[in-house]
Structure 1
Amino acid sequence: MTRTAKTLSSLIFSIILLIGGNAFLMTLLGLRLSIEGVSPGVIGWILVFYSFGFVAGTLFAGRIIERVGHIRAFAVFAAILAASILIYPMAVQAGLWGGLRAVGGFVMAGLMIVMESWFSSKADNQNRASLFAIYQIVFFLSTAGGQVLIRLGDPAGYIPFSLAAILVALAVVPLSLTRRESPTIVQGERMSLRRLYGKSPVGTLGSLVAGLLISAFYAMGPVYANRIGLDVGQVSNFMASAIIAAMIMAWPVGRLCDRFDRYRVMVVTALIAAGCSLAAAFIGGMSAWVLVLFVGLYMGISATLYPIAVAISNDLMDSHQITAASTALLLSYGIGSCIGPVVSAAAMELMGPAGLFVSNATILGLLMLFMVVGPGRRKHPSVEEQEDYYMTTPEVAIAMADLDPRNPDFEEHPAETTEEPVEEESGERREAG
């Protein structure tokens, strides 16, 4: 395991730089638009284009990678993302920024596919659960670290944008210097949303609601913080606390999902998240730290909705359907992420900044209603029949189905050897192959 981690060190550095830079940019954009006095409704529409681009990237970016190879594709995607970041401060225009967000979402999906498929190619039956955990810890910490960078420059200037572009550009270096051959992308089985809903209505809707809530917070959270008067440092704490809380809450909720009925765990989770969301809206104004506490609890708990939805769905699937179901759940999450910023922005225009959390609590209430008295109320497996629970994120689900320890077909794709070849073919020949 130690040798495998050492072999992946260059890739991990690329992940840290890329995820940190992209997370920094996402918060910076919402904050900058709020400082410019753009209305929440317009901000929501601008930022939602990232989700449109990301969903498109999960569907089509893999074709580019297959055509030119992982290293070249990574360099191209990173160059486009870095260039788009540098364009933002040149002109604060809704149409331009919306287009840049769509481009950024598409290439970011491609970058994630490259990194995660490379990461999963190192896994075998002995180390894949550990690698699965390492990847998610690195992802969460890099995202939280990106929030801290907000403190390093005036969001109204160009320096923060330059810093984000530098991080993305530097992410190319470690991966480009690796001596390992590129992994192979394996196209998985597909499952339609209609078929998924027929087998797991709660899993389908839970994934959609999770995408809606998470995207709404990432897009409009900085706007909310700015509108209630938080300074740049407080905005950094506000955003970082939510991400750290998501990582912390993963373990206890996972334990509950293994010991109790996951259906009931989701209902209780949604109830607690809704309560914390309302508390953030109406009690959080007492002080910045009280707000950070409730927002951290809200986001930490809300972030577990997606893995619970995945676990509930997998309990109802045949073993050979798990990978296809994961892809469909990701699509459901993506649809939710395209809705979230627009809904929350409309609520903020109607009710003020608190509308962000009031609308999210309302959506969680509808999810609970669906599960308790709606179509979601149906027979589900007992605790003894449940599959093992694994914390996952939508980002992991893009290209790491093989790394997921629940995948029964994993042995068909054995990990690459960790031995480094004595003589390497040229980079051009490897990529051509």
Structure 2
Amino acid sequence: MLSTILPVRSLLIAIFMMMAGSGFLSTLIGLRLDRAGSGTMVIGLVATAYFAGLVIGALRAGEVVRRVGHIRAFAAFVALLSASTLTYALFQHPLLWGGLRLIDGLCVAGVFICVESWLNDRADSGTRGTVLAGYMVALYSGQALGQLFLRTGNTAPHVPFEIAAMLISLAIIPVCLTRSPAPMLDDAAALPLRRLFEASPLGVAGAGMTGLLLGAFYGLAAIYARRIGLDLGDTATFMMTVILGGVALQWPLGRLSDRYDRRRIIISCFAATLAVSAMLAMQPVGILLLALGAAFGGLSFALYPLCVAFVNDRLLASERVAASGQLVLLYSAGAALGPLGAAAAMTLAGAGGLFLFIAAVAAAMLAFGLWRLAISDPVPGADQQDFQILPRTTPVAALLDPAGPDALSPATGPPLQTGDTWTKR
């Protein structure tokens, strides 16, 4: 494994540093706006601006990379993200901060495109799984550990932003000094969303609804934690626990879905997410809160890669990269809407409204999933693709999937399917 990771270590170090610096900003910004007296809807709008920036960046940042190259583009995106982060420490106004979060989303998407396309170029069909695993560990461990920097703002409010900017800026160094040749970024293929939905209504709807519930969580979970009485340190611990729980359960649930009908695993995860969210809406405390938070992270984080795997089960090998790109954009669009719905729920029902909203989303998908289960046939076990952990970043991440276009040729791919029903071509 080390021999596979070492050639791309500079990229993994860079993404770890960047996520350690930027990964806790959504939590920090929500807390600062709440402390300044901003309403829940305003905080939700600021959170939405970040996810909107991710969507725009995922669609447009590739043009910048193609025009100036990976290293220059990476340096430009990181420099702008660092400058934006320092601006939070200078001025505090919801309108300004909303604009800065839009810029943050654009920059983060640009960084992801640079790193993911570079990793794809350095990997082959035999090493992609290991490279992707290393990328996921670097990304989520950086995001989780970054939550601890929330504690640094107790005495000096500007310090967390300065630490974040420092870490983000340091991410430039390993990329600028790498001896690994930068690749050319190709245009991503397109696949109509209608074609995807016809192939797998459950998988496509699940990807979008997962974005809705996780966008709500990332945008407003810190506000939930503070309003149920957690101090700053406990809020950081809660957020870190959810993220680490999310990483821990993805692989076991994915392996389970390889052995059994994947639809049932997806539906079970939505049902369990509904139950855990309902309990979190009751505002538990102490160890129970952390245990439920870890369970929520484990279940909800697994939903997106499960849905992608299920869609891939029903597509030709030649369609899978384009399909994954569309699904991550669908997820991001859902994430942009999630904070608004959750903010409305919290305005009406208090802190627990966040998880009431998430529970409602999970309940809707549970009902839809049970309906699809009743009217459609499963994919034969022999034709199911292996589960692969996937980041919810940009369409370029789909290229890192070992079940991508070089795993099977179109001639040997599975039969075409429509409407979750197995049909021979």
Category of TM-score, reference length = shorter chain: over 0.9
Q: CA separation in 1, counterparts of 2:361 and 2:281?
A: 14
The answer on 1:72 being equivalent to 2:72 is yes
Cα–Cα, structure 1 residues 167 and 150, in superposed 2: closer, same or farther, change >3 Å?
same
- Partners in 2 of 1:409 and 1:3 — Cα distance? 22
Q: 1:300 aligns with which of 298, 301, 307?
A: 298
CA drift at 1:374: 6.0
Partner of 2:223: 223
Sequence identity (%): 37
- What is the CA-CA distance between 1:156 and the residue it aligns to? 7.1
Which residue is equivalent to 1:391? Answer: 389
1:254 partner amino acid: G
Which among 328, 331, 339 is matched to residue 329 of structure 2? 331
State yes or no: 1:370 paired with 2:368: yes
Do 1:402 and 1:410's aligned partners in 2 also have CA atoms closer than 8 Å?
Answer: no
Query: Which residue of the partner structure matches residue 420 of structure 2?
Result: none
* RMSD of Structure 2 on Structure 1 (CA): 1.8
What CA distance in whole angstroms lies between the structure 1 residues aligned with 2:29 and 2:148? 15
- Taking a change above 3 Å as real, the CA distance of residues 217 and 376 of structure 1, as seen in their structure-2 partners, is farther
- Structure 1, unmatched stretches of 5+, are 413-433
Summarize deviations over 1:236-268 as a string: whole Å, max 9, x none.
Answer: 111000000011101210121011101111111
Structure-2 residue corresponding to 1:40: 40
Partner of 1:83: 83
Show structure 1 runs of 4+ deviating over 4 A: 374-377
Partner of residue 406 from structure 1, selected from 394, 399, 403 = 403
Q: Is the 8 A contact 2:10 2:175 kept in 1?
A: yes
Tell me what 2:264 maps to.
264
Deviates more, 1:146-155 or 1:368-377: 368-377
Report matched runs for 1:226-241 at 5 Å. Answer: 226-241=226-241
CA distance in 1, matches of 2:383, 2:155: 51
- Equivalent-residue separation in structure 1 for 2:182 and 2:11 (angstroms): 12
Question: Is the contact between residue 248 and residue 300 of structure 1 (CA under 8 Å) also seen in structure 2?
Answer: yes
Q: Where do residues 345-360 of structure 1 align in structure 2 (5 Å cutoff)?
A: 345-360=343-358
Match of 1:373, SS state, is helix
Secondary structure of 2:23's counterpart equals helix
- Asked if 1:108 is matched to 2:105, the reply is no
Residue 149 to residue 214, structure 1, CA distance change in 2 (3 Å): same
**Deviation, structure 1 residue 165:** 0.7
In 2, the alpha carbon distance for the partners of 1:249 and 1:264 equals 17
Instruction: Tell me by how many angstroms 1:50 deviates.
Output: 0.5
Cα deviation digits, residues 249-293 of structure 1 (max 9, x gap):
0121012101110111111111111101111111x43x2321111
The answer to whether the 8 A contact 2:328-2:395 is kept is yes
Question: Bigger shift: 40-49 or 180-189?
Answer: 180-189
Q: Give per-residue Cα distances to partners, 1:80-122, cap 9 Å, x unaligned.
A: 1111111113222121111111111011100111111122221
Match in the other structure for 1:96 = 96
Aligned to 2:312: 314
Paired residue for 1:117?
117
Deviation per residue, 1:188-238 (Å, 9 max, x gap):
211122221121111111001111111111110011111112111100111
Classify 1:377/1:18 alpha carbon distance in 2 versus 1 (closer, same or farther; 3 Å): farther
CA separation of 1:376/1:46 partners in 2, compared to 1, >3 Å: closer, same or farther?
farther
Instruction: String of CA shifts for 1:351-406, please: whole Å, max 9, x gaps.
Output: 000000011011100001112226994233132321111121212x5323332100
The aligned counterpart of 1:6 is 6
User: Hey, what does 1:175 align to over in structure 2?
Assistant: 175
Q: Distance in 1 between matches of 2:192 and 2:85?
A: 35
1:22-56 CA deviation, whole Å, 9 max, x = no partner?
11212111111111121111100111101111100
Distance 2:306 2:240 in 1: 23
**Secondary structure of 1:309 counterpart:** helix
Distance (whole Å) between structure 2 residues aligned to residue 278 and residue 155 of structure 1: 36
Mark the CA change 1:376 to 1:175 in structure 2 (over 3 Å): closer, same or farther.
farther
Tell me, in whole angstroms, the C-alpha distance in 2 between the residues paired with 1:165 and 1:130: 30
> Shift of the alpha carbon at 1:158?
0.9
> Aligned partners of 2:374, 2:209: CA distance in 1, in Å?
14
Alignment-derived partner of residue 427 in structure 1 = none
Name which of structure 1's ranges 377-386 and 128-137 shifts more when overlaid on structure 2: 377-386
TM-score by length of 1: 0.91
Secondary structure at 1:379 match in 2: coil
Map of 1:166 onto structure 2: 166
Q: 1:416 maps to which residue?
A: none
Task: Report SS of the residue matched to 1:394.
Answer: coil
- Give the Cα separation in 1 of the matches to 2:375 and 2:192: 22
1:364 maps to a residue whose letter is A
Quick one: which amino acid aligns to residue 397 of structure 2? M
Structure 1 stretch 178-187 or stretch 333-342: which is displaced more? 178-187
The one-letter code matched in structure 2 to 1:317 is L
| Alpha-carbon distance in 2 for matches of 1:160, 1:376 | 51
Q: Alpha carbons of 1:399 and 1:279: their partners in 2 closer, same or farther (altered >3 Å)?
A: same
Equivalenced residue count is 409
State the SS of the aligned residue for 1:125: coil
Distance change >3 Å, CA 388–CA 147, structure 1 → 2: same
